[in-house]
Amino acid sequence: MLEEYRHIPMVVMDWGEAKADFTDAVIDNAFEGGYMAGRYLIERGHREIGVIPGPLERNTGAGRLAGFMKAMEEAMIKVPESWIVQGDFEPESGYRAMQQILSQPHRPTAVFCGGDIMAMGALCAADEMGLRVPQDVSLIGYDNVRNARYFTPALTTIHQPKDSLGETAFNMLLDRIVNKREEPQSIEVHPRLI
């Protein structure tokens, strides 16, 4: 699809890698962020942890899940398949996934949501089931969306540096236009725990 636009300066963001040999890319290290989320929960004593990843065909979904699963593997924690329920980064999918996970006879003590917006739905589902976060089930999100600070309780999250992603992409595009640079570049930005 991008091939027909080869002559137009282009930067892709957050896809995990450039989708063509002529595009620049700015990448959030989703694997690192997922790993951080998993380690955070493990370090707080959790051994029964579920996960609601985003779409697995995207780096934001698959990369975050892969990092999380690596943290589980290192800690020798087996995550039951029934505790891995894919969402689509929308609140409704987080709500339904959390209902599915928490409706099981044996449920996790913590859940990693691959996006804060899904975590909003997951938080609502837990509340409607009479479960308190974090007393009954802990929750960690990803993205540090602007409204995350208004969640009740406040959401622990992995900060995706959106400002840095956008600024870097703009500067790369400007460099391509002004300096007529043709060779592709790829720059990675790193998430952090909030």
Q: What is the CA radius of gyration of the chain?
A: 18
Domain ranges of the chain: 30-159
49, 129 contact by CB (below 8 A): no
> Cα 48–72–126 angle (5° rounding)?
35
How confident is the model over 119-168, as pLDDT tens digits? 999 999 999 999 999 999 999 999 999 887 788 888 999 998 888 888 99
Q: Which amino acid is at 166?
A: G
Instruction: Give the CATH fold of the 30-159 domain.
Output: Rossmann fold (3.40.50)
How confident is the model over 105-121, as pLDDT tens digits? 999 999 999 999 999 99
99, 64 contact by CB (below 8 A): no
Question: Hunting for tokens 């929308």 — which residue is that?
Answer: 90
14, 123 contact by CB (below 8 A): no
pTM of the model: 0.90
